[in-house]
Amino acid sequence: MFEELTVGLGDRSYSIRIGEGILAEIGEALQRVRFPRRVAVITNPTVEALYGGELLRHLAAAGYRAETIVIPDGEEFKTLRTLESIYTALIEGGFDRSSGLIALGGGVVGDITGFAAATYLRGIPFVQVPTTLLAQVDSSVGGKTAVNHPLGKNLIGAFYQPRHVHIDVATLTTLPPREFAAGMAEVVKYGVIRDRNFFDWLVGARENLQRLDRQSLVLAVNRSCQIKANVVENDETESSLRAILNYGHTFGHAVEALAGYGHYRHGEAVAIGICVAAAVSCELGLCRAEEVAAIRALLVSFNLPVVPPAFPLEDYLRAMGRDKKVKEGVLRVILNCGIGDCQIRELSDPEPLFTAAIANLSEG
Ligand X SMILES: NC(=O)c1ccc[n+]([C@@H]2O[C@H](COP(=O)([O-])OP(=O)(O)OC[C@H]3O[C@@H](n4cnc5c(N)ncnc54)[C@H](O)[C@@H]3O)[C@@H](O)[C@H]2O)c1
Ligand Y SMILES: O=C(O)C(=O)C[C@@H](O)[C@H](O)[C@H](O)COP(=O)(O)O
Catalytic residue IDs:
122, 144, 186, 228, 238, 242, 246, 249, 253, 266
Does 135 sit near ligand X (CB under 6 A)? Answer: yes
Segment holding 105, helix H or strand E: strand 99-105
Selected from 29, 83, 101, 182, the binder of ligand X by CB under 6 A is: 182
Q: Which residues on adjacent β-strands are paired with residue 166?
A: 17
How many C-beta neighbours within 10 Å does residue 100 have? 22
Does 267 sit near ligand X (CB under 6 A)? Answer: yes
Selected from 242, 275, 287, 316, the binder of ligand Y by CB under 6 A is: 242
Size of the site for ligand X (CB under 6 A): 31
List phi, psi (to 5°) of 12. -105, 20
- Secondary structure (3-state) at 33: coil
Name the residue nearer to ligand X (CB basis): 111 or 195: 111
Task: Tell me if 153 is assigned to a ligand binding site.
Answer: yes
Contact 182, 266 (CB under 8 A): yes
Does 106 sit near ligand X (CB under 6 A)? Answer: yes
Selected from 9, 24, 33, 50, the binder of ligand X by CB under 6 A is: 50
Does 246 sit near ligand Y (CB under 6 A)? Answer: yes
- Residue 108 binds which entry of ligand X, ligand Y, none, with Cβ cut-offs from 5 to 8 Å by kind? ligand X
User: Least distance in Å: CB of 170 to ligand X?
Assistant: 9
Stretch that binds ligand Y, among 6-14, 206-214, 244-252, 313-321 (CB under 6 A): 244-252
Contact 120, 90 (CB under 8 A): yes
Task: Tell me if 113 is assigned to a ligand binding site.
Answer: no
List phi, psi (to 5°) of 129. -120, 85
Does 144 sit near ligand X (CB under 6 A)? Answer: yes
Say how far apart CA 68 and CA 66 lie, in whole Å: 7
Selected from 82, 99, 113, 139, the binder of ligand X by CB under 6 A is: 139
- Residue 246 binds which entry of ligand Y, ligand X, none, with Cβ cut-offs from 5 to 8 Å by kind? ligand Y
188-190-195 Cα angle (round to 5): 105
Residues 177-196 that bind ligand Y (CB under 6 A): 186
Report the first-to-last Cα separation within the chain, whole angstroms. Answer: 44
Burial of 98 (0-12, 13-18, 19+ CB in 10 A): exposed
Does 357 sit near ligand X (CB under 6 A)? Answer: no
Q: Which residue is nearest to ligand X (CB)?
A: 107
Question: What's at 35, amino acid-wise?
Answer: F
List phi, psi (to 5°) of 323. -60, 145
Selected from 17, 58, 153, 166, the binder of ligand Y by CB under 6 A is: 153
Give residue 261's Cα distance to chain centre: 15
Say how far apart CA 18 and CA 112 lie, in whole Å: 22
Residues lying near ligand X in the complex (CB under 6 A) are found at 44, 46-47, 50, 73, 75, 78, 105-109, 111, 131-132, 134-135, 138-139, 142, 144, 153-154, 171, 174-175, 179, 182, 265-267
